[in-house]
A and B are shown apart, each in its own frame.
Chain A
Amino acid sequence: MVGVKRVVDYNVRVRVKPDMSGVITEGVKMSINPFDEIALEEALRIKERGLADEVLAVSIGPADSQQQLRTALAMGADRAILVQTDAAIGPLSVAKVFLKLIEKEQPLLVLVGKQAIDDDNGQTAQMLGALWDRPQAVSCSKVEVSNGKATVTREVDAGLETLDVDLPAVLSVDLRLNEPRYVKLPDIMKAKKKPLDTMGLADFGVTDAPAFKTVKVEPPPQRQKGVMVKNVAELVDALKKKGLV
């Protein structure tokens, strides 16, 4: 089971709304969260190695998230579920929905990106691990599945950490785990016939009330452009004037 979040595309330069209620998403290119795309790719590879029977893609978001789920199906997911809501629900609510789906779907592994590049929270896997009372491995850069367990390598500040976790478990994936495949045109056509079910938050007993109140969203303070120097001698002088060397 793979979490697929619809987010503002990686390459879009986001702008804050004039009324400071959020960022502008109207008329902006939307994509699968890049980390979730890596999670999906890993699930597909696990299936291709004969270690899983099915890959289920799940998205929680507005109706337009169907586009991202269709992309997921075109990449190779077998079926998809959209839990539709226009509210910006937080990671704890997402984890609660996932838990309900897990009870029904009984997945071997739940894979999500280590963070979504919109709210940069990085919480869903850990919160699901807690509610599910199962192992978590965050920021995985290598995943090996065998005999009811997974050996995972995670990217940590000190370098790389390897954990053994019993399955089922929830993993969040980092950039260097894999390089997601490109979607080919015939796959896009085939994906249109794959099952995509739509459900509502109420089906999971989860409300759309946010955990926190958004007071405001502002642009960040900007750094001023400094001086350009012509050569190394001028650079060393400038550093000395600032007392840095």
Chain B
Amino acid sequence: MSRILIVAEHDGAKLNPSTSKCVTCAAKIPGASVDILVLAADAAAVAGQAAAVAGVGKVLAVDNPANAEPLAAVQAPQVAKLAADYTHVFGPSTTFGKDLMPRVAALLGVGQVTDIMAVEGAHCFKRPIYAGNAVLTVEVPADAKVVATVRVASFEAAAQGGSASVEKADPGVPLPAHTRFVSRSGATTGRPDLQSAARVVAGGRALGSADGFKIIYSLADKLGAAVGASRAAVDAGYVANDLQIGQTGKIIAPELYIGIGISGAIQHMTGIKDARTIVAINKDGEAPIFEAADIGLVGDLFAIVPELEKQLGG
């Protein structure tokens, strides 16, 4: 039987929704038991939220001041040690999990399956390669521990209402001091989180400047949407890197995605193709984004976007 340990992503106070998406992925493995590991300076609050995710058997809580910030070099030996009793170790394919999980896999002496998008069996998974232009089905040897990251856009969040037990755990392994956290800067915009938002309004290079991007923010606020951007817009300095959608940015799966002034490079499309509805607004009717858009509108975005905001008004 599969015993699956999921490494929780959190900010010390709140459990990231990516964790409960990993639970949904893990639950696709027939007969699996699913536990969550919370590494924190004080794990109680996050462990409580993890215990409330439906389908979780138990939560392992590790309290250690060294876990105040999620440093992969510090967390990996703890995860590897506690993974001893498990057949699978999963983490989200967010920057948190991408940093940590390969280090865990190497400590365990196994390969890592990146970006699980579908579960075919306890040791068999589908994952995207070539920026999502091909889908690879891989099989992990039956006798190997499965270490994997889960493509969070491919799975819904698990339901609430669980009542898992919370157990304190102590990996008792030496932790390195060679890696030290200095600071983290992020935009606290008050807008929904790009990765988990139901609606996303994204802008491209055609916005022309950081100032031009204001109409994107304005429309997003009207819709209660998160704001995203193409790589070109980020590279041009219109918006910060954490808004980038695509192969090397965030992979999103909102109900509604509105791409404005985005031509639709393959690398961007790989980040949005799980959106339920794609709307494209672009002055170039030949832009590739229209090939994948559910609704397309050709025209001058500086006229269309304010007008759209107005007509959504009532």
Contact = CB atoms under 8 A, between A and B. Distances in A.
Interface of A: 8, 13-14, 16, 23, 90-92, 95, 114-115, 117-124, 126-131, 133-139, 141, 151, 154-166, 169, 174-176, 211-220, 223, 225-236, 238-239, 242, 244-245
Interface string B180-194: 111111110000000
Given A8-B130, A14-B133, A165-B179, A226 B294 contact: yes
What is the predominant secondary structure among interface residues of chain A facing chain B?
Answer: mixed
Contact of B134 (A14, A161, A163, A165): A14
B105 A123 contact: yes
11 contacts: A92-B105, A120-B131, A120-B247, A123-B102, A130-B107, A133-B176, A156-B242, A158-B242, A213-B141, A225-B291, A242-B277
B235 to A, nearest CB: 7
Contacts, number: 245
Nearest to B275: A223
Contacts of A165: 178-180
Kindly name the residue among B98, B102, B107, B138 whose own CB sees the greatest number of chain A CB atoms within 10 A: B102
A218 B120 CA distance: 14
Interface in B97-145: 98-107, 109-115, 120, 124, 128-141, 144
**Which 5 residue pairs are nearest across A and B when measured between Cβ atoms?**
A211-B111, A159-B186, A226-B294, A126-B102, A130-B106
A14 B292 CA distance: 18
B21 interface: no
B266 interface: yes
Interface in B278-303: 278-279, 290-299
A159 B241 contact: yes
A236 B137 CA distance: 40
B290 A228 contact: yes
